[in-house]
């Protein structure tokens, strides 16, 4: 995937038709997760969204992955510190090496730091031109 293709994917209208519901992670009971939510797009890319919420730490991660390429965008809120990007940051695809290296570079997203998981999700959808047709079941309301 070229950077121009990634930018095109960001701009094109995308749709999530299924519900987003965090469930207990069988491998880590202190985490709630959802996996492999399909993000439809007209460009033919197989895009999936995964998420993790850790109630005890109040951290949330949203990770967009393209089939056969790897991660292309990940937002971590109140997570591990990443150098100059802090605890709340965004990783974004720059080149094929980024996906192979799990999106190592990050930039700060302090604007998301005090928001709930639902609010972060709504902002990500707005910025990435994603319409949620299903429901977002807020893990903080459970």
The reported pLDDT for the residue numbered 70 is 84
What are 66's two structure tokens?
A: 């393209």
CA distances from 112 to 69, 81, 122 (A): 27, 15, 11
**Residue 48 main-chain phi, psi, to 5 deg:** -130, 150
Q: What is the mean pLDDT of each run of 10 residues along the chain (142 residues)?
A: 79 95 94 97 94 95 91 89 85 64 78 95 95 94 70
Nearest of 110, 111, 121, 71 to residue 91 by alpha carbon: 71
Residues 42, 48: contact at Cβ < 8 Å? no
The span from the CA of 133 to the CA of 19, in Å, is 8
Contact call for residues 77 and 61 (beta carbons, < 8 A): yes
pTM over 0.85: yes
| pLDDT score recorded for residue 2 | 73
Domain boundaries of the chain, sorted by first residue? 3-131
Note the pLDDT of residue 128.
93
**In this structure, what token pair is assigned to residue 30?**
């202190």
Q: In this structure, what DSSP letter does residue 20 have?
A: E
Would the CA dihedral through 55, 36, 50, 125 be positive or negative?
negative
Nearest in space to 136 (alpha carbons), one of 123, 118, 120, 119:
118
């Amino acid at each position: 995937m070229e950077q121009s293709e990634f930018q095109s994917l960001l701009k094109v209208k995308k749709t999530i038709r299924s519900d987003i519901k965090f469930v207990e992670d069988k491998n880590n009971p202190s985490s709630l997760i959802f996996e492999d939510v399909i993000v439809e797009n007209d460009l033919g890319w197989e895009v999936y969204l995964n998420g993790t919420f850790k109630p005890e730490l109040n951290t949330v991660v949203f990770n967009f992955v393209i089939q056969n390429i790897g991660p292309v965008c990940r937002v971590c809120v109140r997570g591990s510190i990443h150098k100059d990007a802090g605890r709340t940051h965004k990783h974004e695809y720059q080149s094929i090496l980024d996906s192979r290296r799990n999106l190592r570079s990050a930039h700060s997203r302090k604007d998301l730091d005090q928001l709930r998981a639902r609010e972060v999700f709504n902002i990500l959808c707005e910025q990435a031109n994603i319409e949620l047709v299903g429901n977002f079941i807020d893990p903080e309301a459970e």
